[in-house]
Structure 1
Amino acid sequence: MTGAGLKNNFILSLIILAIVFSVLLPSSSSALSKKATVLIYHKFNEPDSPSTSIPTEVFEKQIRFLIEKGYRIISIDELVDALYHKKPFPEKAVVITIDDGYRTTYTEAFPVLKKYNLPFTVFLYMEGVGRFPAYMTVDQLKEMSKYDKVTFGLHSYYHKPLGSITDRKFLERDTKKAIKRFKKLLSFTPHYYAYPYGEYNHSVVQVIKDLGLEAAFTQDPFNVSPETDPYLIPRVPMVGSWATLKNLRWFLETEPMEVSEYNPSFGVLPENPPGRFVFKIERLGLYKDIRFYISELGWLIPEVDLKKSLVTVTVKKSLKRRVNRVALDAVDKRSGHKARFFYLIVKPSE
C-alpha cells in the first residue's frame, strides 16, 4: 500500500473512532446530576429593605455568571417532575423563584429574565397583589403572564408565619381563599406553594397536599436531591448580605447531605427541651468533619456511629426562640465540597 493509501486509511480510522465515541459518550448537554439549586429572591433595587432586596445590577451579574459558567436554568415543572419520578436533574441545574409579587419583580427582575429568555417562578401573596401599592398590579400580572417561561404559584392569602399554626380550619380557609383569588386573577389553578417566611409544620403540609397543590417550597438553605420530599423543597436565599457572587458560588457547589430519616421531625416539637436528635445516613462513611447546628445554640459536635449509620446529639437546654433551623454540616469526601441538610422546628406552646 502506498504512503497516500496508509494516510487515507489512518484518517478514515480516526473519523470512525470519533463517530463511535460521539454515540457512546453522553454530551455535556445531556449530562445528569444528583443535585439542583433553587434560588429565592424577594425585592429588587429597594435599598429601604436591605435584608430582603438585591440591587438589580447584582441580580443581572448573577444571571450572567450562571449562564457563562454553564449552569442550566430549568423550569419549576422540570424540577418537580424529576422529584416525583426520583430521577436525576440536568447537570448544574438551577431554578429561579421570587416570593411575594412585589412591584419591583415586574419593573426590575422581569426585564432581566426576559432579556436572557429564562424560566422563573413567582409565588404570589394573594391579599397583596393587585391591591397594595408595593405589589404588582393586576395589569402587570397579566402582562407578565404572557411570557411563556413564567410560572405563578401561591404564597398564601394572609402571609402569616405558619410554623405555630396547627388549626386545620384556618389553614384550609387561608389556602382556599388564596386559590380562589389566584384563579380569579389568572384564570387557572396553581400547582405550587411557597411557605410564608419559610415556616411549615405537619398540619400545613397536609393541608397543602389535600387541597391538590403538587409541591411546596421552604427557605431551608441547602440543595435539592432526587430524594427530596416534593413538599419540603429547600431554597437558597439571594437577598441582603447573602446576595453576593461568593455566596452564590459556595451554595452552587454544596452537596445535599443524604439523610434518610431524622427525629424529632420538622414542625412543632413534642417537648422542650427537645432532647435527642437522631439522623440516619445510610452512606455515613462518605462524610467527614460532621457538625450539628441549631439556630439558637450555634454549632455542636455530635456523636457519629458508622456501624449504625447514625449521627446523634442531645440538646438539654430549653429553646426560647419560637422557630429554629436545625442542620447537619459535613465535608463530602467524594467532591471535597460542603454537604448540608436543614429543616425547621417550632417551640411547642407552653
Structure 2
Amino acid sequence: MQKVLFVLVLTASLFFKVNAATILIYHHVSDKTPKSTSVSTEQFKEHLELINSLKLIVVPLTTITDAIKANTPVDNNWVAITFDDGYHSVYDNALPLLIQYKFPFTVFVNPKMVGPSKLYLDWDQLAELAKHQGIIANHTMAHENLVQDGLTDEQMIDNILLADKIITEKLNQSHKLLAYPYGEYDHKIKQDLKKLGYVGFAQHSGAVNETSDILALSRFPANGIYANPKTLKAKLNSLPFNIKSITPSDTKPESLNPLLQVSLLNKDFYQSQLACFISGSGKPQKPEWTSKLDFNIASNNEIPKGRVKYNCTAPSISHSGRFYWMSKLWINL
C-alpha cells in the first residue's frame, strides 16, 4: 500500500505543470549613483551574461503581459528587463550592452522629469532607446505617490492619461503599462487602473504566470544589495505560487502586525517547508495553515517604519532545486 501511495505521489509530481516568467527591475546603471538603487555597468553585464548562460529568453514586457491578460501560459524561459524613472545612466551605460546582447527592455518614465538634465533622459535619448527594442511606458507625470499624495480619483486618472498622451505624442508608443511610483498602491487605485485597461507593476518580489495579479505584477529588484549574481540566479529560477487570492491588496498596513491571507489554487510543495521571512527579522517565521490551500502570516513583532516585506518561499516537489517565491510589500510611514 505504501509503495502504491509513493508511486501516486511521484506520478502526480512529475505531471505538475508550473509556468514561470521573471521580470527584473533596475534604476541606475552606474557606480556614481546611490548604491541602494544602483548596479554598476560591470554588474549589469554580469547579469546579462547570467541570463544567457541559463539559456533564458529576454522578451518584450508586453509578451508576458499579453499572455497573462489572455490567461495563457507564460514560457518558463521568459525574462523581461525593466528600468524605473528614466535615468541618464540607462542610455549611457545600459543601452550599449542591451544592443550588444540584442535584448529588449522597458523604461518607465515621468514626462515632467524628461530632460535635458544630468540625471534624467531627454526625449531624443528616449527615441534612441525606442529604436533599439525599448518600450517607453508610464510612471505617472512626476512620480506622484498615488496613495500618499492625496490625489482624488479624477486627478489620478487625469495624471495617468496625460502621461500616456505625452509619451504617445513624443514617441508614438502607447502600451497601457504603469509602474506604481515607490511600488505603492491600494485597492481603489487598482480598480481605476482596471477601468482604464492598464497593467500595473509593483515592487514586491516573485515570478509571474497566468494566475498573477495583472494590476500589481511582481518584479525582482536587481540593484543595490540584490545585485549579487548568485542570488539573482535563484530568482531567475524561481517559481510563482498559483494564487487564487491575496488579502489585503493595499501596501499601506492597517496595523503594525499586518495579517496577510493567501489562498492557493493548488500547490507543489509540502506545507511544513513553507517559510516566510519578514524584513528586520533574522529568523524565518512559520505561517498558519487554515486549510490545505490557505495560509496566514503576520509579524510577531511590530513592523518598523519604511518598506517592509513578507517573503515566503518553499522548495518545489516536482522541480528539484527550484523554489516557489512570493512577497508582500508593506509601506509603513
Q: Please, which of 150, 157, 160 is the counterpart of residue 144 of structure 2?
A: 160
- Where does residue 27 of structure 1 map in the other structure? none
Does the 8 A contact of 2:288 with 2:296 survive in 1? yes
The answer to whether structure 1 residue 279 and structure 2 residue 229 are counterparts is no
CA distance in 2, matches of 1:115, 1:280: 43
2:246 matches 1:262: yes
User: So what's the TM-score if we normalise by structure 2?
Assistant: 0.84
Contact 1:222 1:341 in 2 (8 A): yes
Provide the secondary structure at the position in 2 that maps to 1:161.
coil
* Mapping for residues 26-175 of structure 1, pairs under 5 Å: 34-147=19-132, 149-164=133-148, 167-175=152-160
The 1:274–1:230 alpha-carbon spacing in structure 2 relative to 1, beyond 3 Å, is same
The partner residue of 1:239 within 223, 233, 247 is 223
Task: Report the more deviating stretch, 105-114 or 335-344.
Answer: 335-344
**Which residue identity is paired with 1:217?**
F
Measured after TM superposition, the shift of residue 110 of structure 1 is 0.9
Distance 2:293 2:54 in 1: 36
Letter in 1 for 2:269: L
Q: 2-side partners of 1:196 and 1:311: how far apart? A: 29
Contact 1:35 1:223 in 2 (8 A): yes
Q: CA deviation at 1:283?
A: 2.9
Native 8 Å contact 1:33 1:90 kept in 2: no
Deviation at 1:311, TM superposition (A): 1.5
- Does the aligned pair in 1 maintain the 2:164–2:176 contact within 8 Å? no
For 1:185, the equivalent position in structure 2 comes to 170
Amino acid at match of 2:255: N
Is 1:203 aligned to 2:188, yes or no? yes
Between 325-334 and 73-82, the greater mean CA deviation after superposition: 325-334
Aligned AA (1:71): L
Matched AA of 1:231? L
What's 1:28 paired with?
A: none
Take 2:149 and 2:277, find their aligned partners in 1: how far apart are those partners? Answer: 24
Per-residue deviation, 1:121: 0.8
In 2 relative to 1, CA 68–345 (structure 1 residues): closer, same or farther, beyond 3 Å? closer
Letter of the 1:107 partner, please give it: D
SS of 2:79's equivalent? strand
Structure 1 residue ranges (4+ consecutive) displaced by more than 4 angstroms after TM superposition:
273-276, 314-320
Query: Larger deviation: 217-226 or 256-265?
Result: 256-265
Q: Name the counterpart of 2:311.
A: 327
Cα 1:136–1:283 change in 2 (3 A) is same
Residue in structure 1 matching 2:279, options 282, 295, 313 = 295
Percent identical: 26
Alpha-carbon distance in structure 1 between the residues aligned to 2:239 and 2:80: 16
Q: Deviations over 1:213-234 (max 9, x none)?
A: 2x12111111112211222111
1:73 CA displacement? 0.9
- Contact persistence 2:105–2:135 (CA under 8 A): yes
Kept in 1: contact 2:72–2:210 (CA 8 A): yes
8 Å CA contact retained: 1:121, 1:153: yes
Q: What runs of 5+ residues in structure 2 fail to find an aligned partner?
A: 1-16
1:28-72 C-alpha deviation (Å, 9 max, x unpaired): xxxx96001111111112423211111112212221221232111
TM-score between both structures, scaled by the size of structure 1: 0.80
Query: What is the aligned residue count?
Result: 313
Residue 341 in structure 1 maps to residue 326 in structure 2: yes
Structure 1 residues 71 and 313: alpha-carbon distance in aligned structure 2, compared to 1, 3 A threshold: closer
SS at match of 1:286: coil
C-alpha contact 2:139 2:180 (8 A) present in aligned 1? yes
Tell me which residue corresponds to 1:4.
Answer: none
Q: Conserved in 2, the CA contact under 8 Å of 1:182 and 1:188?
A: yes
Aligned to 2:209: 225
CA distance in 2, matches of 1:138, 1:48: 22
Partner SS for 2:84: strand
Q: Taking structure 1 as reference, are residues 174 and 294 closer, same or farther at Cα in structure 2, changes over 3 Å only?
A: farther
Closer/same/farther in 2, CA of residues 80 and 285 from structure 1, 3 Å limit: closer
**Which structure's CA Rg is the greater one?**
1
Report how far residue 275 of structure 1 moved.
6.0
Equivalent pair of 2:41/2:94 in contact (CA under 8 Å): yes
Q: What SS does the aligned partner of 1:90 have?
A: coil
What is the alpha-carbon root mean square deviation over aligned residues?
2.6
